[in-house]
Amino acid sequence: MTVNLLDLDLDGLAVFCESLGEKRYRATQLFRWIHQKGATDFDQMTDLAKSLRDKLPSSACIEASKVVSRHDSADGTIKWLFDVGAGDVIETVFIPESDRATLCISSQAGCAVGCRFCSTGHQGFSRNLTTAEIVAQLWFAEHTLRREFKRDERIISNVVMMGMGEPLQNYSQLLPALRTMLDDHGYGLSRRRVTVSTSGVVPMMDRLAQDCAVALAVSLHAPSDALRDDLVPLNKKYPIDELLQACARYQLAAPRDFITFEYCMLEGVNDTPEHARQLIALMQKHAPNGLSCKFNLIPFNPFPASGLKRSGMAAVTAFAKVLLDSGVVTTVRKTRGDDIDAACGQLAGDIQDRTGAKKRMASQRQGMLSGIKVVVAEGMGL
Ligand code: SAH
Ligand code: SF4
């Protein structure tokens, strides 16, 4: 059987090398060729022991998913759609800024959580991505852009697991991917520059704290269980108090500023000053456990099937003011606007014609990711 080496973190690669009768340390060289140099051809790996180079072609490959389409926005944002087989499409977004360049990565084809305001949630769950499919998004983007920008040094400085899917419902495949991102012989990203975004899979937050405590974005979206049950159905399993206790535990394993709460602003649903006051009460209730927090308010990116609307700027500002006045660090993510929306429309048409219904569903998510892009790119303190 051929092993896709993108599936393996450095430890996994060492075990694989041993299985070929090679010394474990050879794995480090091989890992660097794959992730730091973007090599796909074992013959390129000139300093690798000849014995290993001879064995690799029959037992291993280095393969990314196929690109279905690419869209370049005027502001430098790039969106790729990848075909992961059986009609499933995932997407990856590159967001350049003056002081960093972020890659937004998908963890699943579809999502089983089914949040009301999320087009991926409406699409339903198809399957978990493999480690290779997760890592390949970074591997492909990094080395494609290095070639295009004619740069030898690292381009992508931050990774956010904010694409399609709930990363903590695909933990076993996520963990080696995170380790490869952090590994000095891989992408060498610090824990602060890799963010896992979760709708609140409590037991897996505890696992992540122990295994690989990277930055965490917690998608809260509501100050009460009644409302959150409706917006994020996973809340029925892991209600807000349990979620916030898990956050406090997470902060014992990671620096205190590693957690951000995401709050998608939905007109007339969760965006009144009263909701903001309820949030403060909630945070104060958990403060004795040591919870420290900051909030990111995300203007909802509408899509037709949701029946929801984006909060107006006045509502967002009033909401943020309540939080800020009680000392909660709050940022608002500002949409970059029409350029991207227009682009998303074009992309949807393009894909629709060529590849059919399921891919059309994925492309709707482009709208949502435009929102996320903005979140990452233009977090703006009020
Ligand atoms: N499943 C994970 C990560 C992917 S979603 C999670 O839910 O956290 C990444 C972020 O996008 C989440 O904070 C989610 O709430 C937000 N999001 C989803 N749909 C959105 C929309 N239509 N507009 C704005 N943000 C949205
Ligand atoms: Fe899944 Fe996150 Fe979308 Fe909810 S917001 S449906 S958890 S991808």
The rounded Å distance from CA 120 to ligand 2 centre is: 6
Q: Name the helix (H) or strand (E) containing 377.
A: helix 357-377
User: Is the shortest distance between the CB of 166 and ligand 2 below 6 Å?
Assistant: yes
Report yes or no: 277 and 322 within 8 Å, Cβ to Cβ.
Answer: yes
Within its chain, how far is the Cα of 48 from the centroid?
33
Query: Could you tell which of 174, 195, 196, 199 is best to mutate to test the pocket of ligand 2, judged by most ligand atoms within 8 Å of the CB?
Result: 199
Q: Whose CA is nearest to atom 8 of ligand 1?
A: 198
Ligand 2 atom having least distance to the Cα of 119: 3
Q: Which residues are catalytic?
A: 91, 344
Ligand 1 atom having least distance to the Cα of 262: 13
Domains belonging to the chain, first-starting first, are 1-62 (1.10.150.530), 64-377 (3.20.20.70)
The rounded Å distance from CA 62 to ligand 2 centre is: 30
Q: What is the pLDDT of residues 273-330, one digit of tens each?
A: 999 999 999 999 987 766 778 999 999 999 889 999 999 999 999 999 999 999 899 9
User: Is the shortest distance between the CB of 113 and ligand 2 below 6 Å?
Assistant: yes
- Least confident range of 14-18, 216-220, 268-272, 371-375: 371-375
The rounded Å distance from CA 14 to ligand 2 centre is: 35
The rounded Å distance from CA 283 to ligand 2 centre is: 23
Whether 188 shows a pLDDT value over 60: the answer reads: yes
Q: How confident is the model at residue 335 (pLDDT cuts 50, 70, 90)?
A: low
- Residue-level pLDDT at 376: 30
Strand order in the sheet with 294-299: 66-72, 78-83, 89-96, 101-104, 158-161, 194-198, 215-219, 259-265, 294-299, 329-333, 379-381
